[in-house]
Amino acid sequence: MKELLDLAQLLEQGQSQKVLTLTQQLVDSGLSPQTILNEGLIAGMAVVGEKMRNGEMYLPEVLQSAGAMKASLAILKPHLAREGTASRGKILIGTVKGDMHDIGKNLVTIMLQGAGFEVIDIGLNVEPQRFVTAITEHTPAVLGLSAMLTTTMLNMKTTIEAIASAGLRSQVKIIIGGAPVSQKFADEIGADGYSRDAVLAVNKVRQLMGHTSY
């Protein structure tokens, strides 16, 4: 359907207002919101992710596309709920204690929501015990920990230790991300996964939850 291709391309270009207008037009036409999500938004962000990894798009452009997707999702969510679209799983995400950076975390949140996951974002500068409390309250399948500083990345280890001490480690998979972290660091602190960007984070979450496709 040409309109869905147009939506994906407008999203890739970060044209928020045009994305909003076309999303509303597609909803009003009676097209399934799940189809709009899968064949328009997710398809568009998949291209964005590929271009980001290949160095064809940079963070400011990616954030424009993500902002357009977030606005479009706001239109689609009530319709998806009425359609009875099931969540692909619950994800808890936050930036660890001492760290006030949220661009990467916010981008991952938008990408996960667009992929059909329910995301609980508990914000910045999150104490280990707050993660423990949130896991108990929300029972997520996956926890995402973010850090952008070498001085705060060690709080990922502290958080994982607190989760283990509370007897919750076996109940949740943990993925980490952020500029200073790596797969080696993830292995060292006992995380289940690592991702270097938002698109790969979605793929890693899907792998951890046993999903093979959108």
Q: What is the pLDDT of residues 155-164, one digit of tens each?
A: 999 999 999 9
**141 and 72 in a common domain:** no
Nearest to 40 by CA among 53, 24, 55: 24
Q: How many domains does the chain have?
A: 2
pLDDT of residue 145: 98
Encode pLDDT of 94-111 as tens digits: 999 999 999 889 989 988
Residue 202 lies in a domain: yes
- Structural domain containing residue 63: 2-83
Q: What is the pLDDT of residue 214?
A: 42
**Edge-to-edge strands, sheet with 193-195:** 118-121, 90-95, 142-146, 173-177, 193-195
pLDDT, tens only, 138-150:
999 999 999 999 9
| Model pTM score | 0.82
Helix (H, G, I), strand (E, B) or coil at 23: helix
Q: How far apart are CA 88 and CA 171, in angstroms?
A: 17
pLDDT at 85: 64
In this model, does residue 196 exceed pLDDT 70?
yes
Per-residue pLDDT, averaged over 20-36, amounts to 95
- The verdict on 8 and 52 lying in the same domain is yes
